[in-house]
Structure 1
């Protein structure tokens, strides 16, 4: 009500503290009115057996006894004058009542500390998830910090962890930006229209090559890589997943002879080799659209290599070869002539921007400890 009316301002001459002791009392103008009795326990969604257990636990709990005395005697104005065991109830003091030796907050039973572990087990009996457990608990039970304790209890449940839909997304850890083109190269295989291809990508320039593979053996992959290394030079680092083509003894011998450091990522976590995966998606889209339009896919790839990258002034082929390559689109002669370009700062800002947006919905997971259970 915005404004109080006359009747709401009319106060009683006698305001009894304990309605259980007074059945009838006199109000203004000698009008007799009965004191209404409300049985709060009728609306509580807790069984009589559980209420009896909570009542017994309340009687033996020191903090609950102090809380009962404070409710009956009245709350102080300052929270800091309360004992530490009941100070956490100060913010809900106006909602707390006592009936049949049980403390209630509205229609929710205040559970003593000694009985809370048992109630947590009962709340989570059906393993219905964090939100479901919270909805169940908030209907009939209360204690300070109940939300945090329910979440913690569910997070430590082995059954719930075993059948989780997916792992929580961690914050992005970006690859280190190389200081020159073709210093760090990533490779991966992909399938398009029933045919196998190898994609080789430069981490500095984002320039990539695709090769048709007649077989998916290590010998065939090494043969294609040698042609690129002869054309662009031998890289310092090669990044691949742990596929059979890259984990064979033949491939290890090739890496050792050509003095290349081979780093692998997990096949079950392609995100760690995400730059290659994104370029595979781009290559597939270009080839798919070209075949659908009855166009030459190699011209589409050529145009992509000469298109300036978003947020930069140079294209992938410029960052690799220091010049544009001629396409069917008219190109300025100055762009076709070699000119050294430096885009290290632009690459760094692009990675920071990517990490910033990715980390909005991610968080760091706790480090694994020795002998800890890990589900895969």
Structure 2
């Protein structure tokens, strides 16, 4: 397409980027875009579209006709540069923009019609409606002269024609859904074939449906009660069904009446357009109406593969069938489509890529049309319902290539695991699969109890290759949920990140609450909870793009020194090993990181000797970096790096694979933005250990302005609640028997399980039992827990989920010796402030300060 001049590469930033969708049509792959967001702001030209009556009145006395078809009509129109950049779309190999007018833009039909009219201006006997050019003349010589002028004009405009679809020198030609002849305008037999070829009813239900079809049109049918009397006679309870000549005559007469004037009318582009469509178990039916008058009918049977579609897919297919069949009427016009499947309303409100793959392809086929889909009760859909149950044989499906190959090719999982998923789904979710294929009931209470939790997600559930999907997310059978929980929590991420990580690719009812409870009850996570907040929050200014501002810090883990770099924008963390703590080593590591991601504008660090060295100052100046350090003795001023160090240390302390833990963090969406650090930095989701649809791994653009707004909003909300909690007074009082986690030493990173025995006489102080010993602790160092998190048996279960990681040992605190409350609260004898009678210095937190050992010289 680049070679043929249809698209070109885009390297500079653009205001609009649409999603790319690949479709297969006529055995060829076509590249399309989803411009739904762009269409909301495009202003249409509102160029007038011709009616068939205007076409006929422009060719009086014509007897010889030709119809020429413009090949790939829209793609023959070049875009100016400004418009071209609006059509930028994302692909796995970068961004491209259209150089020609693509399908899907709501302004495209008017633009194309205007250009076609300009091309044919001044040629009498030649007229166009969209990409069909009609040539009409009273005689062959005059016709040939007009044809020659049209071809010359098309050549000058570089308009290519599709000769396979052209009709030349005919006495009658099909045109815009009608038949133009020397005798005048006639109805196209194709638009009434669905009614004319309707089979004879075989039982009373068939008669009842046909009479419902006729009754809907009764206001246009004179003497209806007399004509349909033989058919109504068959519906009596005491009359046996017997199809006689009288019934056949009434049946044929009614079909003729429904397909002739005054019932059937000519199409008028100036009037609003409505389509009623429906799908039965074996067929599709549709009718085009204006002012309640039928314009055209259509029906067809389902293929063997289509009969196995879920009901929502059949109903969507009926919309596709109707739009393709009535293309000549609705292309370029807004059309309201009525269907009796309510979930379709929600489907059309969702982004294209969030819907199931088969429905995605159907919606992609509908991008040519300006549609509004509305729900209508089934009992008010007599016309399409009757047509769908008395369908014509299918000649060629509207959608080719919908029969997807094994979904294993689209899911990042081994063949063995996918086979296990199929087997478990078949055994445990067979009832759900049946409901999805047959259609959902009208009310939630009509479902079996075990399926009611799926009710709110019914519009997104489909079955493909033996697996149930909610959009692109796999619906996990009950027996596999425990294994998925293990994978979700394998790196012991927190509640929010664990839920975000799971929601990207997995689904089952109540999944979020189960994950939340699992993390709360995880003993290992309870051991490494964050410290309680102590200082007011002072948010930093959010950068405008990745790696504009970064922070760095040094830390030690298991005897090895590391340097950490974190991006303020994406929260992406880089960690490198240090052989020594020399300034030169740190500079070399930072140079390597900057070579991968670019040189930042601002670098924040603490006041460590390596960062305060003259050599580091020269390095920053040579690289054009503004170096900002935190205030002395206030490492929290470099909070982004401090938090990143805490995150890495905790992940590594709990995880068996350091690299996998970092990968899980980088690929887990940030709560405030909805994108993971890797997505914000790289524009894609790196593959991790969770089974993920391949479409989710493809590069995808995001709006940096919206990301910055969300980050700013998140910081404001965070500061509000953070400061609000500090100003809200003391925390809730603990009661005897409450399960808690306590810090063995103030400032410790590990929290030990305990139980509140009683409150101490001092305010906010409690006696806590832990490990058969009692301790006195301030409420600042106590955190409420759950019995399961403190239960050693539950800790073993969580350790098994974490693949039996070795627990990190912690120094055991010294217990508080006491025999009664008086002794417990008795003051320690002191000779001076903070000094005991034995000469020991005691801090206000109760820690004994050991004097330094001095060298005697």
| Length-normalised TM-score, structure 1 | 0.49
Relative contact order, higher structure (CA 8 A, sep 6+) = 1
Please state which structure has a larger fraction of its residues in helix.
Answer: 1
Please state which structure has a larger fraction of its residues in strand.
Answer: 2
